[in-house]
Amino acid sequence: MIVEPTDVPDVTEPGTTVTDDDEPAEETTAPVDDEIAEALAAQEKYQALYDQNSDFVGWIKIENTMISYPVMQSIDSPDFYLKHGFDKGYSNYGVPYIDEACATGLSNNIVIYGHNMKNGSMFSDLVKYSFQDYYESHPVIQYDTITQLSAYQIVCVFRFDTNNETFRFHEYTDMNEEEFTEYMTNCHERQLYDTGVTAEYGDELITLSTCEYTYENGRFVVVARKIVE
């Protein structure tokens, strides 16, 4: 159902004139703004998915892994996709979904949850980031929304003991500068190795979380920052 977008052409502003040879007059034309062009491309790529289920907010993919899935959000029933598929039917696999506190396009950290399934599907491949060489082979996450096509550089990965931690990583979604610094400090203190990458206030983050069984109620967390060209 995903449609690879075509190139978006330049457009002529409404009310401008066109020369006799059908070429827009140079002084009256304007190229499509980059952000608008990106939004149009994203809409073209994912419109069919959104039309089928308006809870669809994006697509997450990591090259050469099993991770390539729609990302959902149901505000009225935040954990709905924990046990439901894209078609809203019951499913033990669920679908990756974002925390209800996150607002796409507004929050500077989008927290995305997904199951760690025994057959290797959903977010199972995330726990392979416990090995630095796996990170070095898979340093980038593609996370598109219905308005943006974006790549994210992994900043750090860590294991998390939910039962015994006071740091609530999933609550850092709309951060001011002090909160952003606090969040990154806590993440780096727990990181399994140094990626050589960090994030600064003003960066957009995604935080991926899945179950991990080092601890009784453990999580494996991957934090990445948006790559801005």
Render pLDDT for 124-177 as a digit per residue (tens, 0 to 9). Answer: 999 999 999 999 999 999 999 988 899 999 999 999 998 888 899 999 999 999
* Residue 24, token pair as written in the block: 């827009």
Give 29's pLDDT tier (boundaries 50, 70, 90).
very low
Q: For residue 200, how many other CB atoms are within 10 A of its CB?
A: 10
Read off the pLDDT of residues 39-68 as tens digits, 9 standing for 90 and up.
Answer: 888 888 899 999 999 999 999 999 999 999
What is the predicted pLDDT for the residue at 30? 46
DSSP 128-167: GGGSHHHHHH--EEEEEESS---EEEEEEEEEEETTT---
Q: Domain coordinates of the chain in residue numbers?
A: 55-226
pTM of the model: 0.84
CATH 3.90.550.10 fits 55-226, yes or no: no
